[in-house]
Each structure stands twice: as structure tokens, then as C-alpha cells.
């Protein structure tokens, strides 16, 4: 009976370092200063790290403001006991407006139907609810164009039960420090707010991770920390120009274990399509993961993993549940040895940005892929 109750876990594990998360939050908070609120972006299941788990860790170290994409995420956080302000950034279905009152959530609005539904819900509950207006000052995505803002603001002022608590926008190129669009869009943002008049005293926020780190004059009253919170630099950098204590720390690592070690003669094709053929006697470590686990086919014959603290290249096409690493130059590799796909082993490290380069994407997608497709284990040496 005891053996039947033993927990069975996958060999493929995403490890989440809560200590690194705390370090990053404190580093960002210190950098923006005491007069600026840090909104922790925990949408997308906290970029694959686990939304409710990480929100609880952040709350424990002083975070009081969280950002999500959809209403269902915000309600999930409240039901998990997360307090503070929770912003819903992508709008909502009008018949769900009452949920903002029931769960004390902050809506970001950009449609007439949004403010109408919120007003009616607030009146029914005998309360007032503050809304944040979403501007499109050059992102080309959600929001109101600057010319539409004055009339929309008047509409908010005319409706009972709601008031304008803040204005936000987004920067499309803040991860590129020299991008000409960033100061131009920020100027548009400021000018649009100025046209609201002296009566507007709400919160302004436009700074994503890029602007938070690289454009201090754009912090306003609040910044929205996303990828930086999870230990990646928006421009794909490493932070080597910073003192060790000031650098961001990666929160996620991804490991597996060797399933089999095989010796193949020269001229052996590896995996589907024989896209790699050995040119010498080759020792291959077979790994029990593939594109089902977020380790995409794009990494075929491109990716590398760490075994015994050394890099081993991926050979052949990645399968749904298997891939192969060349360990010919790494002595002593055995079945069961730990393999690091993302993270550090001894002195070697593979970063999310490096994997993103092999895949032709960005670190955000790498983290979401790995975190949302594998069992997560939380490492925490401090509460």
C-alpha cells in the first residue's frame, strides 16, 4: 500500500527559485525609488512561473499591485487570498462588470460598453469604482487614440458610480535603448494627459520593463515590471555591466535526466529524417523530452544542454518526447545524470535569451513554453 501512495514525478522539471524572484522585486523597487509603485505583471501564469504561487511570494515581500490580462486571472488571485490592487488590462465582457465590484478589482477601459457596464454595476452596489484609461500613443494595439480621449473622459465624468483613477499606455520599443519612438510616444502620452486638465490627479503609467530599467524619466507614478521580474533583461543583455548584487537573477531553470547512453558508429543517422549523420564514432545521450514539453523542433541541430557542467549539442530532429545530445567529448555520462536545458550547472549557464536566439524568438516565449508544459517545483530558502 505504501508504494502505491509514493508520489511519481516527471524527469522533466521546471524549477522556480523564489529567492531570485524576491531579489529581482527588491532590486526593481530600489531602482525606481520610494515614490513609484511597482506593478508585478503576473499575467500568462506569471510568464510560465505560476501565477498564484508567485503572487503569494511577491505579496510576502511587500508587493501590493499586480497586473493580469483577463478577469478570470484576477478572480483566481483573489480566491487564492491575494490582496492589494489587481489590474485587468485587456477589458472584459459587459455582463461580467459586477465581478470588479465583488472582488475589488481595477478595470482598464477603452470601450464605451466598458464604462457603461461598470457604471450600472457600481450603482447597483451603491459604490464608486476607479477606472484606468488605456491610450494608444503609438503601440498600434488596444486603446484610444489621443484625439478620442477628451470626449471619452467627459463620458466617464458624466456616468454615475465611476471615476477616472489613472491613465496608461504602452511602449513598443523600450527594450531598444536608442529607439527614437520611445521619447516620442512618451511625449504624446504626457501631452494627452495634459489635455485632461488640472482636474486629473490620477496615476500615470507607461513604463514596461524596458522603460523601468532604461528610461528613468518615464517612471511616472507606477511602473509595470514583467520580464525583468523573472530575471531576464528586456534587451537580451546579461547585466555584466552591473555590480553582482545589482544584477537580475533568473527565476526559472529546466532540467531532465539522461534516459539512455548509446554509442553509434560513423555514418549513423539520428532521429526522423536523418537531418544529422555522425562523421565519427559518437556517444549520444537520449533525453526524455521534446516539443510536447516546450522544447521545440526549432532547436533541432541548434540547441545545447549542460551535462557534467559542459555543453552538449542537440543532434538530429527533436521528437515529441525525445531528443538526443552529443556527449562524445564529455566523459562518464550515465543514465540518470541531470541535464540542464535552461539554467546553470557548475560554472556553465544556458539562458532564456540564448535559447530564444536558437529558436528565433524572445525569452518571454521560452519561459511560457517551458513553464506551462512541465511540472513546476518551487525552491524557497526564505519566507
DSSP state of 3: G
90-95: long-range contacts (C-beta < 8 A, 24 or more apart)? 90/142, 91/142
Cβ distance 257 to 338 under 8 Å? yes
Would residue 383 count as lying in a domain?
no
The catalytic residue positions are 43, 272
> For 23, phi and psi rounded to 5 degrees?
-55, -45
Same domain, 237 and 300: no
| Positions in the chain whose pLDDT score sits under 50 | 1, 383
- Domain end among 246, 268, 295: 246
Q: 0.85 exceeded by the pTM?
A: yes
Would residue 49 count as lying in a domain?
yes
Same domain, 238 and 114: yes
Would residue 128 count as lying in a domain?
yes
Same domain, 232 and 256: no
pLDDT of 383: 37
Would residue 370 count as lying in a domain?
no
* Residue-range definition of the domain harbouring residue 86: 18-246
Would residue 327 count as lying in a domain?
yes
Same domain, 165 and 184: yes
pLDDT of 242: 62
Identify the CATH number of the domain in which residue 256 sits. 2.40.37.10
CB atoms within 10 A of CB 339: 25
Would residue 6 count as lying in a domain?
no
Helix (H) or strand (E) holding 350: strand 348-350
Q: pLDDT tens digits for 279-291?
A: 999 999 999 999 9
Same domain, 66 and 182: yes
| Percent of the chain scoring above 70 in pLDDT | 97
Same domain, 200 and 280: no
- Domain end among 246, 277, 302: 246
Same domain, 241 and 343: no
Same domain, 207 and 330: no
pLDDT of 298: 96
Same domain, 117 and 196: yes
Q: pLDDT tens digits for 331-360?
A: 999 999 999 999 999 999 999 999 999 999
- Domain end among 214, 246, 278: 246
Q: Domains in the chain: how many in total?
A: 2
Same domain, 37 and 153: yes
Cβ distance 171 to 208 under 8 Å? yes
Amino acid at each position: 500500500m505504501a508504494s502505491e501512495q509514493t508520489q511519481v514525478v516527471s524527469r522533466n522539471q521546471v524549477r522556480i527559485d523564489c529567492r531570485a524572484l524576491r531579489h529581482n522585486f527588491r532590486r526593481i523597487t530600489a531602482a525606481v525609488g520610494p515614490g513609484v509603485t511597482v506593478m508585478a505583471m503576473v499575467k500568462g501564469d506569471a510568464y510560465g512561473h505560476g501565477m498564484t504561487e508567485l503572487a503569494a511570494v511577491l505579496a510576502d515581500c511587500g508587493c501590493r499591485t499586480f497586473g493580469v490580462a483577463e478577469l478570470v486571472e484576477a478572480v483566481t488571485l483573489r480566491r487564492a487570498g491575494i490582496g492589494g490592487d489587481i489590474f485587468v488590462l485587456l477589458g472584459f465582457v459587459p455582463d461580467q462588470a459586477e465581478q470588479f465590484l465583488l472582488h475589488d478589482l481595477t478595470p482598464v477601459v477603452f470601450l464605451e460598453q466598458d464604462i457603461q457596464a461598470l457604471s450600472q454595476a457600481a450603482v447597483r452596489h451603491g459604490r464608486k469604482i476607479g477606472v484606468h484609461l488605456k491610450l494608444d500613443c503609438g503601440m498600434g494595439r488596444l486603446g484610444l487614440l489621443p484625439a478620442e480621449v477628451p470626449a471619452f473622459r467627459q463620458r466617464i465624468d458624466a456616468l454615475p458610480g465611476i471615476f477616472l483613477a489613472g491613465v496608461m499606455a504602452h511602449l513598443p520599443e523600450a527594450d531598444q535603448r536608442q529607439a527614437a519612438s520611445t521619447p516620442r510616444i512618451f511625449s504624446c502620452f504626457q501631452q494627452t494627459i495634459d489635455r485632461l486638465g488640472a482636474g486629473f490627479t490620477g496615476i500615470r503609467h507607461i513604463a514596461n520593463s524596458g522603460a523601468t530599467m532604461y528610461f528613468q524619466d518615464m517612471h511616472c507614478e507606477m511602473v509595470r515590471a514583467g520580464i525583468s521580474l523573472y530575471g531576464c533583461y528586456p534587451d537580451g543583455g546579461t547585466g555584466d555591466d552591473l555590480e553582482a548584487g545589482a544584477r537580475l537573477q533568473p527565476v526559472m531553470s529546466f532540467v531532465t535526466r539522461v534516459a539512455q547512453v548509446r554509442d553509434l558508429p560513423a555514418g549513423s543517422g539520428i532521429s526522423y529524417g536523418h537531418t544529422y549523420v555522425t562523421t565519427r564514432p559518437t556517444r549520444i545521450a537520449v533525453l526524455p523530452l521534446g516539443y510536447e514539453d516546450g522544447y521545440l523542433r526549432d532547436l533541432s541541430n541548434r540547441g545545447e544542454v549542460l551535462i557534467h557542467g559542459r555543453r552538449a549539442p542537440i543532434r538530429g530532429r527533436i521528437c515529441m518526447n525525445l531528443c538526443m545530445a552529443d556527449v562524445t567529448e564529455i566523459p562518464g555520462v550515465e543514465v540518470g545524470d541531470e541535464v540542464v536545458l535552461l539554467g546553470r550547472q557548475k560554472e556553465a549557464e544556458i539562458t532564456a535569451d540564448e535559447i530564444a536566439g536558437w529558436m528565433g524568438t524572445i525569452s518571454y516565449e521560452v519561459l511560457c513554453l517551458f513553464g506551462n508544459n512541465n511540472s513546476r517545483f518551487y525552491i524557497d530558502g526564505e519566507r
